[in-house]
Amino acid sequence: MPDITQDNVVAKKMLGIFGGTFDPVHYGHLRPVAEAATTLGMDEIRLLPCHIPPHKQAPQSSPEHRLNMLRLACQEWPLFVVDQRELQWNKPSYSVDTLADFRREFSQQPLLFFIGMDSLCHLDSWYQWSSLFDYCHLVVCQRGDFLPKFNVNIQRLLDQRQTKDVAALKHQRNGLIYLAKTSKIPVSSTAIRAALSRGVVDPDWLPDSVLAYINQHHLYTQGELSPP
């Protein structure tokens, strides 16, 4: 008998999507998501570098550099695959548009959109935030340098959509929130850029190959956009 769910979806392989500025990519991005992927039995996560982030300053490094650093990270972490679709669109990277595009491409698979806890707490400031659930589930990773506080919108969202049932994520294509128990890694791209501009960075914060690339191309040393 096929495994049929409430919304009549046969259980399909889940696709993970993890968006960010990745300026640069670091272990706070990679480790928590990899841990959650293991818990959920997933074997592919798309890393989605944004083109123009709507919620923050323009990235310091060029798209090419951010892409190259992600590719280096993916060589060490085969779970991750770079997805360039947002970089190919010359417009602000709204997650709801990107996820709609994924849904057009993968009409039947559960789509799991990974975010950090800080992003969940501010989700109600995102463009068309409640429509995200028309396209994907959310998997929320712990964030080491952030104390979570849920406002009324986010608490209501969790009351309506949170699940602790991994199987439910497989059997529904979208609509749920899963809070993953992941390591708290207190690092951010901002902290790495600041450390690099002072000339010292903790090598435990990011993959060696990414740090070597940063040094080779003199990235983040002057606070200016650095062409490849």
Is the Cβ of residue 111 or residue 185 nearer to ligand ATP in the bound state?
185
Is residue 190 within the footprint of ligand ATP (CB under 6 A)? yes
Residue carrying the six token digits 């690099």 = 196
Stretch that binds ligand ATP, among 9-17, 66-74, 128-136, 183-191 (CB under 6 A): 183-191
Is residue 28 within the footprint of ligand ATP (CB under 6 A)? yes
Rounded alpha-carbon distances, angstroms, from residue 152 to 125, 155, 158, 159: 13, 5, 10, 10
Is residue 32 within the footprint of ligand ATP (CB under 6 A)? yes
| 228 half-sphere exposure, CB direction, 13 A CA radius | 9
Give me 135's structure tokens: 């396209």
Closest approach of ligand ATP to the CB of residue 205, in Å: 9
Rounded alpha-carbon distances, angstroms, from residue 46 to 14, 17, 59, 81, 98: 11, 5, 20, 5, 12
Is residue 61 within the footprint of ligand ATP (CB under 6 A)? no
Is residue 15 within the footprint of ligand ATP (CB under 6 A)? no
First to last CA, the chain: 54
Is residue 16 within the footprint of ligand ATP (CB under 6 A)? no
The beta-strand segments (E) located in 90-176 are: 111-116, 137-141
Is residue 116 within the footprint of ligand ATP (CB under 6 A)? yes
Query: Three-class SS of residue 9?
Result: coil
Is residue 185 within the footprint of ligand ATP (CB under 6 A)? yes
Give φ, ψ of 150 to 5 degrees: -95, 125
Is residue 22 within the footprint of ligand ATP (CB under 6 A)? yes
Is residue 144 within the footprint of ligand ATP (CB under 6 A)? yes
- Residues 118, 124, 150, 172: which binds ligand ATP (CB under 6 A)? 118
Is residue 171 within the footprint of ligand ATP (CB under 6 A)? no
Neighbours of 58 (CB within 10 A): 10
Query: Three-class SS of residue 48?
Result: strand
Is residue 67 within the footprint of ligand ATP (CB under 6 A)? no
Closest approach of ligand ATP to the CB of residue 49, in Å: 8
Closest approach of ligand ATP to the CB of residue 109, in Å: 21
Is residue 17 within the footprint of ligand ATP (CB under 6 A)? no
Is residue 189 within the footprint of ligand ATP (CB under 6 A)? yes
Calculate Rg over the CA atoms of the chain. 18
| CA atoms of 128 and 188, how far apart (whole Å) | 26
CA proximity to 205, closest of 60, 36, 73, 35: 73
Is residue 63 within the footprint of ligand ATP (CB under 6 A)? no
Residues that bind ligand ATP (CB under 6 A): 20-23, 28-29, 32, 56, 115-116, 118-119, 141, 143-144, 185, 187-190
